[in-house]
Amino acid sequence: MKKVFALLLIIAAAMLPVFANGTAEGGAGTVELVLSEVHAEGYPTTLADYEFARLVNERTEGRVNITVYSGGTLYGEETGSIEALQVGDLDFARVSASPVASYVPALNVIQLPYLYRDADHMWQVLNGPIGQEMLDEIQASGSGLVGLCYYDAGSRNFYTTTPVQGVDDMAGLKIRLQNNAMMVEMVRLLGGNGVTGIGPNEVYSAISQGTIDGAENNWPTYESMGDYEAAPYFILDGHTRVPEILLASETVIDKVSAEDWEIIKECAKETQEYEIEQWNLREESSREKVVAAGVTVYEPTAEEIQEFQDLMSPLYATYGAGYEDMIQEIINTGL
Ligand code: BDP
């Protein structure tokens, strides 16, 4: 009897690491993966990152564990995280589609200025065949990246240290932009000078130090990064709607089983709706917060917006070349 008990103990001890690792695969261990996020805790995309990590852990029954690093602690500039994904130094990054277009140029098509009438229009496109085609293009282009899903980031608007109430006021202004040549060209067409290489967490100090005269973003980033305190003039020109993208490094495919890779892709898609809900809440509360703090919001007239829009048509010719039919299809979506 004693012998049997001792034997059972030995077997139990041998099994221990298997259970401790939460894996049934002979103690091979949990696959530990890392996700980088530039936004702070509580920001809609950060909340979605955690939800993604939670779902993946639950559905893989602990075989895959994703640790989220928020606030740009790993990579403050999204270009840095994209390049880390490409060489397999990083597993996931939630980034804006804008810097990704430097590596996958086709992505510029879905972020051309004044492309979407509103958020609903954008979501009809992104959740339809064009959106999927563009996500697939990220991997197909040989970038070493995999596009998992899109998130909402509202519309982007200029904010400055001096009032801008129309295109003329943009003349000579140094505007911080994401790392994307099309966006630099956009500001040049408006008469300003685009400045890149400044991470979103550094915009506040760059404005405060006078290195730049302003930047452009959505309400939540403007509020969350504190930029509204340095550049209190916000013009609702809505020049772009740039979706966020949850990216994986292609090297993750070799780190997890085929089954778990499918689970990862499925979980990412499932978090989209959650992010949009969080987005809508935050867009409203951020706007209220900056307005209460005394920001001057200028709402351009339809004619003033038209002036911005007209100046951007060369971008359609340059960055939309070869995608004319797709652009037309996007414009017709929902009409
Ligand atoms: C924010 C995006 C973030 C970008 C940032 C930027 O959520 O991913 O990095 O803009 O302007 O809206 O760099």
Q: Write the pLDDT tens digit of every residue in 80-124.
A: 999 999 999 999 999 999 999 999 999 999 999 999 999 999 999
Q: Three-class SS of residue 325?
A: helix
Nearest CA to ligand 1 atom 4: 96
Give distance in angstroms: CA of 123 to centre of ligand 1: 19
Average pLDDT rounded to a whole number, residues 44-55: 99
Nearest CA to ligand 1 atom 13: 200
Residues 87 and 214 in one domain: no
Mutate to test the pocket of ligand 1, among 35, 77, 98 (most ligand atoms within 8 A of CB): 98
Contact 204, 225 (CB under 8 A): yes
Q: What is the pLDDT of residues 215-272, one digit of tens each?
A: 999 999 999 999 999 999 999 999 999 999 999 999 999 999 999 999 999 999 999 9
**Joined tokens for residue 131:** 């959106």
Residue 94 alpha carbon, nearest atom of ligand 1: 8
Is 134 a member of any domain?
A: no
Residue 215 alpha carbon, nearest atom of ligand 1: 11
Give distance in angstroms: CA of 141 to centre of ligand 1: 23
Residue 98 alpha carbon, nearest atom of ligand 1: 4
14 pLDDT exceeds 60? no
Is 135 a member of any domain?
A: no
Residues 86 and 211 in one domain: no
Residue 156 alpha carbon, nearest atom of ligand 1: 12
Residues 278 and 327 in one domain: no
Q: What is the pLDDT of residue 29?
A: 86
Is 125 a member of any domain?
A: no
Cα 261 to chain centroid, rounded: 21
Is 182 a member of any domain?
A: yes
Give distance in angstroms: CA of 256 to centre of ligand 1: 29
Residues 301 and 254 in one domain: no
Please provide the DSSP assignment of 209-271 as one string: TTS-SEEEE-HHHHHHTTHHHH--EEEEEEEE---EEEEEETTHHHHS-HHHHHHHHHHHHHH
Q: What is the pLDDT of residue 169?
A: 98
291 pLDDT exceeds 90? yes
Give distance in angstroms: CA of 330 to centre of ligand 1: 24
d(CA 9, CA 28): 21
Is 48 a member of any domain?
A: yes
d(CA 48, CA 121): 22
Q: Three-class SS of residue 124?
A: helix
Nearest CA to ligand 1 atom 1: 221
Nearest CA to ligand 1 atom 10: 217
Mutate to test the pocket of ligand 1, among 221, 224, 225, 241 (most ligand atoms within 8 A of CB): 221
Residues 218 and 316 in one domain: yes
Residues 175 and 324 in one domain: yes
Is 126 a member of any domain?
A: no
Residue 78 alpha carbon, nearest atom of ligand 1: 9
Is 185 a member of any domain?
A: yes
Q: Residue 28: pLDDT band by 50, 70, 90 thresholds? A: low
Residues 296 and 197 in one domain: yes
Average pLDDT rounded to a whole number, residues 286-310: 98
Residue 217 alpha carbon, nearest atom of ligand 1: 12
H helices present in 96-202, as ranges: 97-100, 119-126, 129-140, 181-189
Give distance in angstroms: CA of 263 to centre of ligand 1: 27
Residues 182 and 67 in one domain: no
Nearest CA to ligand 1 atom 6: 200
Counted domains in the chain:
2
Q: Give the structural domain span for 206.
A: 156-241+290-332
Residues 182 and 90 in one domain: no
Contact 206, 225 (CB under 8 A): no
**Mean pLDDT of all residues in the chain?**
93
Ligand 1 shell residues, CB under 6 Å: 38, 78, 95-96, 153, 178, 200, 217-218, 221, 244
Residues 175 and 257 in one domain: no
Residues 229 and 297 in one domain: yes
Residues 161 and 303 in one domain: yes
Is 114 a member of any domain?
A: no
Q: What is the pLDDT of residue 184?
A: 98
Contact 245, 139 (CB under 8 A): no
HSE (side-chain half, CA atoms, 13 Å) at 131: 18
Q: Residue 304: pLDDT band by 50, 70, 90 thresholds? A: very high
Nearest CA to ligand 1 atom 2: 96
**Joined tokens for residue 180:** 């994307």
274 pLDDT exceeds 90? yes
Residue 242 alpha carbon, nearest atom of ligand 1: 12
Q: What is the CATH number of the domain that holds 278?
A: 3.40.190.170
